[in-house]
Amino acid sequence: MGARIKSYVLLGVLSILLVYLGRFFGPNGVVVAFILAVVLNWVSYFFGDKLVLAMTSARPISEEEYPQLHNIIAELSVASGLPTPKLYLIPSGSPNAFATGRDPQHASVAVTRGILELLDEQELKGVLAHEMSHIKNRDILLATIAATIASAITMLANMLRWTTVFGNRDSERGSNVFSLIAILVMSILIPIAAAFIQLAISRNREFLADETGARICRNPFSLASALRKLAHGVARQPMNAVNPSTSHLFIVNPFSAKSLLTLFSTHPPIEERIRRLENMAV
């Protein structure tokens, strides 16, 4: 419950930043910012999963190809009380997985060829339970909303910066150099703050998905063991071809499981995730 509340509070702060930035564009600025956010959310909500699957070159996999994988996902669907998601295979040797879709009725889970080769059945079950928990907790929708609001903030900030420097300004504002500097500074700092909040939401949901996934598969050690293997696997073979905008969807950072700057990472430290999972079994 604490993790959910924290996520919604951060999302609320992100929305406040959007509204605050919109007011710099005049009386109708907030309305424009709101409409922009709604349009972006609508596109992401209905077409985001298709775009992500296409960007990762994922293809549907049948039960005849991978019967064990289908059996595991069917078992986890019953355990979680969710509809069975569609399964996709990403033709990459780097071990990873992600879930996408606007709701449990339109969800998909994609796994790489590398993760199927690396993990045993129990570890794979832990990973798929983690992805099912993202679907169960509606993390996909929350991440989409956070990403689109952050994108709207960035676009508005860029517009504000260029308008302030080159646009037509009223005499009062034009004569006040300090006001101009303040607006320029805000147009730079607000998108940075929005990016940090978006990353915080993503990291927070990963902890929640680990906990929920461990409860679904009833074995926190299997997920902890899988994360440990994935960390080494991604370090050896990162998914360099992946679009950075999709990195937050994967169970571990597809570029590097260990980030040099945790503050800027879309994922919490692997060691901390493993520690929390192992403490669940104590």
C-alpha torsion 213→53→225→62, nearest 10? 90
Contact, 50 vs 246, CB < 8 A? no
- CA distances in angstroms from 80 to 77, 84, 96, 126, 216, listed in the order given: 5, 10, 22, 13, 6
DSSP H helices, the chain, are 2-22, 29-55, 67-80, 113-118, 121-136, 139-166, 171-174, 177-217, 220-236, 270-280
Q: Phi and psi for 112 in degrees, rounded to 5?
A: -90, 160
Which residues, other chains included, contact 135 with Cβ-Cβ below 8 Å and sequence gap of 6+? 80, 82, 85, 99, 101, 104, 107, 109
The one catalytic residue among 131, 206, 272, 278? 131
Q: Is 271 designated active site?
A: no
SS3 (DSSP) at 88: strand
* Strand ranges of the sheet holding 97-100, from the earlier edge strand across to the other edge: 59-60, 86-90, 108-112, 97-100
Amino acid at 37: A
- Catalytic center residues: 131
